[in-house]
Amino acid sequence: MTLKGTGQLLFCIVLLFIARGTIAQPIYAGRYTTIFTAPPANVPTPKTPDAPLTGNGDIGLTFGGEPGELQYYFGKNDFWRAYPVYPGGGIALPGGLRLTIPALKGADYYAEQLPGKGVIHASFKKEAQQVTIDSWVAATHNTVVIEITANKTCTLQPVLWAAKGNTAINTAGTTEKVTWVTRSFENTPLLEWPCHVALAMRVLGNNGSTNKTITLAPGKKTIIAVTIYTSNDRTNWKEAAITEAKALTPAVIEKMYAAHQQWWRNFWDRSSVQVNDSVIEKYYYTSQYLFACASRGNKLAPGIWGPFITKDSTAWGGDYHLNYNYQAPYWAAYSSNHLDLTDNYDQPLLDYMEKGKVHAMELLQVKGIYYPVGIGPKGLCTTRWPLTPEEMLQRYGTRDNTIDSGYKFLGQKINAVFGAGNMLMRFYSTYDAVYAWRIYPYLVACADFWEDYLKLENGRYVIYMDHYGEVMPNLRNNGQWRQLLGDFNSTLSLGLVKMLFKGIIEVSTFLKQDISRQEKWQDIVTRLSPFPVGETGGRQSLRPVERSPAEWLNKPMGLARVSIHGLLLPGGVCGPITDSAFNNILLSDVAHWKDKMQHIGEWGNTLNNGIETCFPGAVRVGYDADEILQQLKDRIAVQSFPNGWITQGGGGIETLSAVPMTINEMLLQSYEGVVRIFPNWNHSKNASFSKLRAYGAFLISSRLQNKRIEFVTILSEKGRACVMENPWPGKAVQLIRNGKKSGQLSGIRFSFPTKENELIVLKGI
């Protein structure tokens, strides 16, 4: 073998190791520390906190307060007041820990949020006094650890507390060296299930000080650990918290921290991107960090605000809002290869199926499932109208609280199918048979509903009375809202219904189930009404609906957030490959978003809602990459918090998918059945990605350097055929399987078979 040939072989071997993940990749997240030089101003809050944050996907830690009196808020995804109306119902605050350090009153504030380590590091100085505090939520345990070191002797008073009120029952006590508090919801009318939480505190290394007053000795570390369990974790929730806290020692904490660090190393090794833009990369990795803090597959799913709860009665009850808020936070996790964060997604939707069937039959006289706009865990409905006519009048301008038998559907039939979008994204990303069997009954129930609900008129399937937006009584319309009902063929509905039937055909074929039903399902896909368009300003533009009683909907409005949900994300039924002519209409609509801007940062009208939808939607239709990135940076600058959380007027954690999903889609696309490498990226700008996940169960890495794609590596998990747009247009492509040349590929688009766990390298010739 020639020296040149030897070098090429070694290069391919390196690429194969990278594809497998056996060569460690740089943890780019560690570069993007977030620094705070002032105490948070937005804590406590019913929405997004602006404080340093960390968590383990179940327990969330919000670091509030001032140096002399720090305030830790402990949220937990599974601590709910299971009451069907908010305010009052929804996710609740377990409690927190107050640290009073008199010597630090008025001290300089400095804190760092460290995404590479899952730690909040703080340092407070006042004259010669300095105290450093490292806080972390153990990634593999139900324990919060706070490590405190002072350079001079001072005192600290820790006060563990449980939130009170809202019908809660509280207890407190001390067991040996453990201080504990509890909060419980039980035995109140309409409560669907009881829920309890215990917080147990142990102080270590404090030279015999009591838990009430701690003396911080110079250079000696004091550890305060709080173990938190709910009745959803353990039946013996209180005893478990106390027992585990009592067993803590410095050596146990050290082992816990080692496991914590290993978890975060493994997390960041799942995938990486480099785009040579420090602002975009910072928000890319910080967003993924915050979502990893908010969601863990073996725990209950996060609500709108994740576990970063700082008070009861958060906005919308912090529930699972099904007309996008619940689904959106997960969107980037599939392509970023963080599937473990998504394991909790399906359970609330599956748990509500029996109620959904009752709603469908009793309210609409159809089969299948029909979901209200908001649910919670364990079959909980969170969105009932106020229980008395008087409260209904005060809040909504009408005394009629019996609308839809007292449930908030808000004129929308599509919520259950909206929930199916994420299921299909994960299925296409994994082709996992166990997962397919898990979700298949839900998909069938959705199909049952729409087979019954759709009407076949004049050779096409049409959708009546499923509304583009929420339609409901409110104080602005004085409760007069029924005249707004009557949307016909909403783009949201048409897109998501097409997504459903295309998806269930794929899943049923994969599982070899209900093959006899596929003819009907395919007929719906084929004959579903076309997406409505009209003319505006001499060009074709998307209409939100075919017709509506609401005058503002009866004209072309262009592609917008709600339509994107049906057509592009999660719908995935449109794009440049699927229908290039229709895609050009959508592309033209995106190009006119700037016409509607009055201020920098308003592109796509995303200040209230939609940053997680509009930016990746613009990528999918092929809008200019440089313009998207600039608009994204402008949007971030206008409305985001110091902790890296991009905020908006509506929901919360859904914005955490905005930057990762936008970048992932720029570097790799596969949602139209064709893998595309750097499909919407300026090729004069260097970029690379490692182990992003594509539909077909492929893990893909590539690098663009000096205007040329250097290589593509593919790990095929399930041995499916790979259809790819040629990364080197006009050139032949060398196919290398497990380090050996295996023929050449050519053409604008090509397909090649793969084997399970096969490693493939593609290089332009």
pLDDT bucket at 7, cuts 50 / 70 / 90: very low
For position 516, what pLDDT does the model report?
A: 98
For position 671, what pLDDT does the model report?
A: 97
For position 212, what pLDDT does the model report?
A: 82
Half-sphere exposure of 482 (CA within 13 A, CB side): 4
For position 3, what pLDDT does the model report?
A: 41
Half-sphere exposure of 153 (CA within 13 A, CB side): 4
For position 29, what pLDDT does the model report?
A: 76
Look up tokens 């793969």; give the residue.
754
Q: Where are the domains of the chain?
A: 3-23+683-764, 54-273
pLDDT bucket at 218, cuts 50 / 70 / 90: very high
Q: Which residue has the higher pLDDT, 20 or 104?
A: 104
Instruction: Provide the sign of the torsion angle of the four alpha carbons 370, 373, 376, 380, taken in this order.
Output: negative
Mean pLDDT of 550-579: 97
pLDDT bucket at 226, cuts 50 / 70 / 90: very high
pLDDT digits (tens, 9 = 90+) for 136-170: 999 999 999 999 999 999 999 999 999 999 999 99
Tokens coding 476: 């602005």
Q: How far apart are CA 215 and CA 102, in angstroms?
A: 12
Q: What are the DSSP E strand ranges found in 454-514?
A: 455-457, 460-462, 488-490
Q: How far apart are CA 12 and CA 752, in angstroms?
A: 19
Question: Is residue 83 predicted with pLDDT exceeding 80?
Answer: yes
pLDDT digits (tens, 9 = 90+) for 479-516: 889 999 999 999 999 999 999 999 999 999 999 999 99
pLDDT bucket at 206, cuts 50 / 70 / 90: low
Of all residues in the chain, the percent with pLDDT exceeding 70 is 96
Assign residue 176 a region (left: φ > 0; alpha: ψ between -120 and 50; beta: otherwise): left
Question: Is residue 79 predicted with pLDDT exceeding 60?
Answer: yes
pLDDT bucket at 12, cuts 50 / 70 / 90: low
For position 96, what pLDDT does the model report?
A: 98
pLDDT bucket at 4, cuts 50 / 70 / 90: very low
Residues 6 or more apart in contact with residue 368 via CB below 8 angstroms:
356, 357, 360, 416, 445, 446, 447, 448, 449, 450, 451, 452, 453
Mean pLDDT of 100-107: 98
For position 2, what pLDDT does the model report?
A: 47
- 33, burial (CB in 10 Å: exposed 0-12, middle 13-18, buried 19+): middle
For position 563, what pLDDT does the model report?
A: 98
**Identity of the residue numbered 410:** L
Q: How far apart are CA 222 and CA 212, in angstroms?
A: 14
Instruction: Provide the sign of the torsion angle of the four alpha carbons 287, 292, 294, 295, taken in this order.
Output: positive
Q: How far apart are CA 727 and CA 721, in angstroms?
A: 17
pLDDT bucket at 20, cuts 50 / 70 / 90: low
Instruction: Provide the sign of the torsion angle of the four alpha carbons 751, 752, 754, 760, taken in this order.
Output: negative
Q: Name the CATH topology of 54-273.
A: Beta-galactosidase; Chain A, domain 5 (2.70.98)
Q: How far apart are CA 45 and CA 75, in angstroms?
A: 13
From residue 17, alpha-carbon distances to 341, 361, 696, 727, 734 in Å are 25, 55, 21, 21, 18
Of all residues in the chain, the percent with pLDDT exceeding 90 is 94
Half-sphere exposure of 408 (CA within 13 A, CB side): 24
What's the DSSP call for residue 673?
Answer: S
Tokens coding 695: 């539909």
Mean pLDDT of 565-579: 98
pLDDT bucket at 10, cuts 50 / 70 / 90: very low
For position 205, what pLDDT does the model report?
A: 85
For position 13, what pLDDT does the model report?
A: 53
Phi, psi for residue 602 in degrees, rounded to 5: -95, 5
For position 208, what pLDDT does the model report?
A: 44
pLDDT digits (tens, 9 = 90+) for 249-264: 999 999 999 999 999 9
Residue 390: its H or E element: helix 389-396
Question: Is residue 211 predicted with pLDDT exceeding 80?
Answer: no
For position 478, what pLDDT does the model report?
A: 87
Q: How far apart are CA 584 and CA 163, in angstroms?
A: 54
pLDDT bucket at 188, cuts 50 / 70 / 90: very high
For position 31, what pLDDT does the model report?
A: 87
Q: What are the DSSP E strand ranges found in 138-239?
A: 143-150, 154-162, 169-175, 178-185, 195-204, 214-216, 222-230
pTM of the predicted model as reported, rounded to 2 decimal places: 0.96
Look up tokens 């402990």; give the residue.
74
As a CATH number, domain 3-23+683-764 is 2.60.40.1180
- Please count the other Cβ atoms lying within 10 Å of the Cβ belonging to residue 278: 10
- 20, burial (CB in 10 Å: exposed 0-12, middle 13-18, buried 19+): middle
Round the average pLDDT of the chain to a whole number and report it. 95
Structural contact between residues 225 and 240, judged by C-beta atoms closer than 8 angstroms:
no
Question: Is residue 27 predicted with pLDDT exceeding 70?
Answer: no
Look up tokens 């023929």; give the residue.
743
Peptide bond into 729 cis (omega under 30): no
pLDDT digits (tens, 9 = 90+) for 124-138: 999 999 999 999 999
Alpha helices in 640-727, H assignment, sequence order = 658-667
- 82, burial (CB in 10 Å: exposed 0-12, middle 13-18, buried 19+): buried
For position 479, what pLDDT does the model report?
A: 84
